Structure formats: C-alpha cells, structure tokens
Amino acid sequence: MNTIKDNPFKYSSDNKRYRTFNHYLRERFGKKVFKVSLNLGLSCPNRDGSKGVGGCIYCSEKLSGDFGGNPCDTLEEQFRTVRDAMEKKWPGGSYIPYFQAGTNTYADTEFLKRAYEKALSFENVVGLSVATRADCITEQTADLLQDISKRTYLVVELGLQTVHDKTAKLINRCHDYGEFLKGYKLLSDRGINVCIHLIDGLPGETKEMMLETAKSVASLRPHAVKLHLLHIIEGTALHRLYEKGGVRPLELSEYVDIVCSQLELFPAETVIERVTGDGAADTLVAPLWSLKKLCVMNEIDKEMGRRNSYQGRLFCGDMKSCE
C-alpha cells in the first residue's frame, strides 16, 4: 500500500512535502486561481481606542495591507488593477477577492454584506477571502459569512499569531487565546473554512513556545494555516523595540528549522497557504534575508528533504505525544 511515508509529495503537485494552497486550488477548481487583494479602509479595535491604541506592534500604518488595493479607489478599480497585474504572470486564471488590510468584519453588517457581494459579482470569481480578528466575529457576522459559504468557496482568515497570552499582551494584541477560541467556534460551528495566521519569532518566544502554538492550532484541525516570519517594519512600535535591543530577528537557519518542525505537527489535510511572508523592501528593517522569498522556500524544501519528513508526520489530534 502506498502511504504518505512512501510518497511525501502525496498532498502537493508542487513537489512540496506539505499541502500547498496552489495544489489545493488546482485540485478543487482544476486551474490556476489567485487572490486579488482589496482594501475597504477598515480599522481595528486596538487602533481606534475601543480596545487599545497603536495597533499590534509589528503592524504598519497600512494595517498589513502594504500589497493591497488603494482604499480611495472603488472596489472595481482595485480589483481591475491587481487582477491585470496578476494576469501578466498567470494568464487565464480565476480569482478570489481578498479583503486583506485591516479588520474586515469590523463594520456594520449591511456594509459588509454589500462589500462581499460586490466582490463576488466580479467576472471569473470563484471564492472570497476575508481577513479579520476572532474578537470581531459576532453571531450576526458569522450568520452572514455562513450564508456566503453556502454559495461559494469562502475562507475567513483569523490573525492569532500565538497561543501565549503573555506574548499577545506584549505585542498589543488586545485579546487573548480564550477570545480567539470563541470566535473560531462561531465560524467552525457553522461549517465556515478558517485560515489561522501564526507569526514565528515574536519577542521573547522560544522554539518550544512556537511549537506549542502549532500543536494547539493543529488540534483545532483548521482548513488552512499561514506561517509568517516576524518582520520589523520602519516606523512601527516593534522597530523602536528593536532599536533598543528588545527583540532579536530570527536567523534564516532558525526560521527554517522552526517552520519544518511546525509542518510536521499540522494534520495532512490542512492547507498551508504560506510558509513565509513578504515585507515591503522600502520599509523593511530586518531580517533582510527574508526579501529572498524563493530562497527561504527552497531552504524549507531542502530541510524537509534532509529530515525525510512531511506535513503531518508528528500530528497528534489530542495534543498528546505521538507514540
């Protein structure tokens, strides 16, 4: 019998030892599908004073929408601009509008409904992705998202970053892991696909803490996960902390080791949407090696090969040690 151990590339046509997003989308839709980033110009509760001010310490003034659309443009204009650029690289693909910048459930439900439906009305759209915070999921918002999920491929992206409340407080997250689980449950109980964002290299965290985060997330069996490297962006609170020696960016070898160890912990069916993040070159302070994204991904591939390992090798659904 051919098992994943015999064939570590079973879950990816990308010659990867983990289930890539590209593989999943091609498997589901039979063609290339790419995200088109949109910006509704929404804020966050830890920026406007309802929970805190200043935002998360690593977040730029663009609220993580550095590669997204211009909120001064209409959604149609944003969509067309990003789509046309992507078409030059991947002609003939389909699209998933991605509300990326800010907290995209942090608004009146009717406003959100109009925005979501508008994005779904664009030509050749096969799904929708909505980035938000778990503490900004209400019963009403979850019901709206459930309705959409019954009609299209919907993914709600929740920025967890870490399960360690001490770290969450340090980064000014303004909600704890318990609140995250409540928001996650509102979505998962309705059958809504959830992608959980994690950040490796947060101030004060050890490899063991990052793996504990991965184990906890793995036990939730989410639809997808995004793994990010902590970027130090010019002008952020994290930048000021870095200048005072309060945070040490991960070295490439450290990051690769951590990511590969996390991939081994996630269930095989979880889609790995990304294994590293992009930082805008003109504002990135550190680590500068992260600008070579393909090199980082290649190093992850090589390390998985050296280990002869694959996604899910150490997955333990109940968080107990594998026998």
Helices (H), 90-195: 109-120, 139-149, 165-170, 177-188
Counted domains in the chain: 1
pLDDT digits (tens, 9 = 90+) for 9-39: 888 888 999 999 999 999 999 999 999 999 9
pLDDT digits (tens, 9 = 90+) for 33-69: 999 999 999 988 988 888 878 789 998 775 554 556 7
List of the chain residues with pLDDT < 70: 1-5, 62-68, 318-323
Q: Under a CB-based contact definition with an 8 Å cutoff, are residues 34 and 90 in contact? A: yes
**Structural domain includes residue 98:** yes
3-state SS class at 221: coil
**Structural domain includes residue 4:** no
**Structural domain includes residue 247:** yes
Pairing of strands 127-132, 153-161: parallel
Peptide bond into 45 cis (omega under 30): no
Cα(13)–Cα(28) distance, rounded to whole angstroms? Answer: 13
**Structural domain includes residue 297:** yes
CATH number of the domain that residue 136 is part of:
3.80.30.30
**Structural domain includes residue 139:** yes
Q: Under a CB-based contact definition with an 8 Å cutoff, are residues 170 and 209 in contact? A: no
Look at residue 1 in the predicted model and tell me its pLDDT: 41
Pairing of strands 232-233, 153-161: unpaired
Look at residue 235 in the predicted model and tell me its pLDDT: 92
**Structural domain includes residue 210:** yes
For the chain, helix, strand, coil in percent to 5 are: 40, 15, 45
Domain that holds residue 117: 21-307
Look at residue 95 in the predicted model and tell me its pLDDT: 96
**Structural domain includes residue 83:** yes
Residues whose CB is less than 8 angstroms from the CB of residue 41 and which lie 6 or more positions away in sequence, other chains included: 71, 101, 102
Q: Under a CB-based contact definition with an 8 Å cutoff, are residues 216 and 163 in contact? A: yes
Burial class (CB in 10 A: 0-12, 13-18, 19+), 281: exposed
**Structural domain includes residue 13:** no
Look at residue 212 in the predicted model and tell me its pLDDT: 98
Q: Under a CB-based contact definition with an 8 Å cutoff, are residues 172 and 57 in contact? A: yes
Look at residue 233 in the predicted model and tell me its pLDDT: 94
